[in-house]
Structure 1
């Protein structure tokens, strides 16, 4: 046991800090190249995260003000919280991976600090995927069984589903904490000893990551993709039927105007989710087909880190712009937003 209660590195323990890896071969991307790319990538990421944190706080306040009278409001309120947590970690990781902070003469590695918080990031991303899939399925059921959807997706049912998702993510992600530890490691950059992030049970960490993030994210991604395709086809059919009915003068029994707006909003929300989640899904598929692509590989480690940060930036961008969909498609959301921030209602 070292000073301050941190353990010394044992033989066989794997030091996962990228800056301390002793590489015997030349990496695909050199350290200078990765620093050059990160400087531009993270300069874009930081303002996106700050903007997204602000917009999601606004979303949370507006949905809270609107109340939880409908399952959709509950789901979107929880989705905003999950997006907020995702963006908070993304902001910390952006600063942690920024070259100027990595090279700072500190007693700890900022890069390793960001890796510690990755557990929160993966859990919040997975919860956001779960919630998006639930909303997508709820809208699809509304199209197929418009008279029964309120009996299937009640407020209690939605709240229990989301609570179950949160419990599952905590339970499945907790084992990662038992596979890592902190240790005092000599730094090759600052020529001093740093508190670093050490994985001593990589199999446990990988299994927890697989169960808590990869598999749920993959399942939810394909559910949302299929649900979005279904909603788009039904939305087009509804518009064509409405055009036909308007010509003949008959009334259509298809979706009401409110349902059409909700379906359209769900299509845009799902499209944003697919935009942000697709890189993570593709990276997981590539990693499954080619396991050597991981952060501790001396040849592909820098490339893997760059791909992870690029997916994080896209995820942050998709989590930041939902407010524009809510304002454009939701009249109640727009009215509450004006009431809260303009100190007056829309009719006054």
Structure 2
């Protein structure tokens, strides 16, 4: 079956592309010359199994995304009130903004799937268009989140290993520039997808209507460009960022254990000095210890954030591995159904991580906790209950 697309005076015939029929996620015709592969791909998940699993994951994913939107909105508001005099506030704000944007993008993707499932006729092909305007951007933003987390972890490692030198280099302005560079190198390459795929208006004869759809550009330059961009942005960048986070987290945990052992060894000596009134250096010693404890709390918070990220990002690494091994494991390949289902499973990890981060900030950052309580007026409610009693 073929359909016609109209661009000016030219009419082009394309294979049928899931054009919102009774089975809007049916495989493209002539996608693969291997009939055995097509049979295997369509037999792995039946229509009913695919819809039931996908719809369940859509509802679960959207519940978690709603939590992520609320949690990251509050985090951004708190960091704005705290100000950006501290470099860590800038990087954590950038992390919250990316998590918030990812949740919004996937909400759009889920909404389009829900409309498709309920056979709502739209002026565009919901599955394909929402993927190229939401799902793909979500995937690139997940790499941005990975690199921001890698930057935060690497910065803490340097602060522990070279505290005097790093504090001169890592400034608020430098951190802001670093965040911009990370976003430019990881997210903005997502727009290169439009070199390989383009939007076209497709006329559907049996529906007697024209809808917006996605058509692959099948020239050699576009195909090679897609392979190169996928290798760099889809494989190399996320895997490297994940490796940096993993290594830095291990180093931070080792350093935390050393700091804890050192503090236990000098606790008794410091307590004697603080209790000795004749010791003029007691107050400065206590002050130094307070500074070290503050740094330790920040390191512990970074370790907690990085650990949650590592756990939530493992399914993404598995998905990248599958995309590398199986050429047809993508949105427009014969393993499209498995790709969509696995994509929903992957999408659960990031909003969970983004939702939990605010709990880590609240638990481990006293300034964040204070501003957060004022923002949601918890302290005022507590005071009012105390006055009533």
Aligned mates of 2:81, 2:192 — CA distance in 1 = 37
Aligned with 2:337 (options 262, 282, 302): 302
Residue in structure 1 matched with residue 325 of structure 2 by the alignment: 289
Residue in structure 1 matched with residue 372 of structure 2 by the alignment: 337
Residue in structure 1 matched with residue 352 of structure 2 by the alignment: 317
- Say whether residues 1:234 and 2:269 are aligned partners: no
1:100-139 alignment, distance < 5 Å: 101=117, 103-117=119-133, 118-139=135-156
Aligned with 2:313 (options 277, 287, 293): 277
Give the secondary-structure state (helix, strand or coil) at the position aligned to 2:158: helix
Aligned mates of 1:306, 1:189 — CA distance in 2 = 30
Residue in structure 1 matched with residue 266 of structure 2 by the alignment: 245
Distance 1:40 1:174, change over 3 A: closer
C-alpha deviation, 1:280, in angstroms:
1.1
Instruction: Look at both structures and tell me which one has the larger radius of gyration over its CA atoms.
Output: 2
Residue in structure 1 matched with residue 239 of structure 2 by the alignment: 218
Distance 1:147 1:188, change over 3 A: farther
C-alpha deviation, 1:107, in angstroms:
2.7
User: 1:8 touches 1:184 (CA, 8 Å); kept in 2?
Assistant: no
Aligned mates of 1:58, 1:6 — CA distance in 2 = 52
Aligned mates of 2:175, 2:9 — CA distance in 1 = 43
Aligned with 1:180 (options 197, 201, 209): 197
Residue in structure 1 matched with residue 81 of structure 2 by the alignment: 65
Q: What is the root-mean-square deviation of aligned Cα atoms in Å?
A: 3.2
Deviations 1:74-125 (A, max 9, x none): 1011111111111111111122223754632223222123212234323322
User: 1:16 touches 1:199 (CA, 8 Å); kept in 2?
Assistant: no
Distance 1:55 1:187, change over 3 A: farther
TM-score, L = length of structure 1:
0.87
User: 2:249 touches 2:306 (CA, 8 Å); kept in 1?
Assistant: yes
TM-score, L = length of structure 2:
0.79
Aligned with 1:147 (options 158, 164, 182): 164
Residue in structure 2 matched with residue 19 of structure 1 by the alignment: 26
Residue in structure 2 matched with residue 159 of structure 1 by the alignment: 176
The answer to which structure, 1 or 2, has the higher relative contact order (CA under 8 A, 6+ apart) is 1
User: 1:185 touches 1:196 (CA, 8 Å); kept in 2?
Assistant: yes
Aligned mates of 1:237, 1:100 — CA distance in 2 = 56
Give the secondary-structure state (helix, strand or coil) at the position aligned to 1:27: helix
Residue in structure 1 matched with residue 214 of structure 2 by the alignment: 197
Aligned with 2:229 (options 193, 196, 208): 208
Matched residue pairs, number? Answer: 346
C-alpha deviation, 1:210, in angstroms:
3.4
C-alpha deviation, 1:131, in angstroms:
1.1
Distance 1:188 1:68, change over 3 A: farther
Deviations 1:254-290 (A, max 9, x none): 8711111101100111012112222111211232133
Give the secondary-structure state (helix, strand or coil) at the position aligned to 1:205: helix
Aligned mates of 2:141, 2:9 — CA distance in 1 = 28
User: 2:55 touches 2:114 (CA, 8 Å); kept in 1?
Assistant: yes
Once the two structures are overlaid, the 10-residue window that deviates more, 205-214 or 302-311, is 205-214
- Give the unaligned 5+ runs of structure 2: 20-24, 31-37, 272-284, 384-389
Give the secondary-structure state (helix, strand or coil) at the position aligned to 1:197: strand
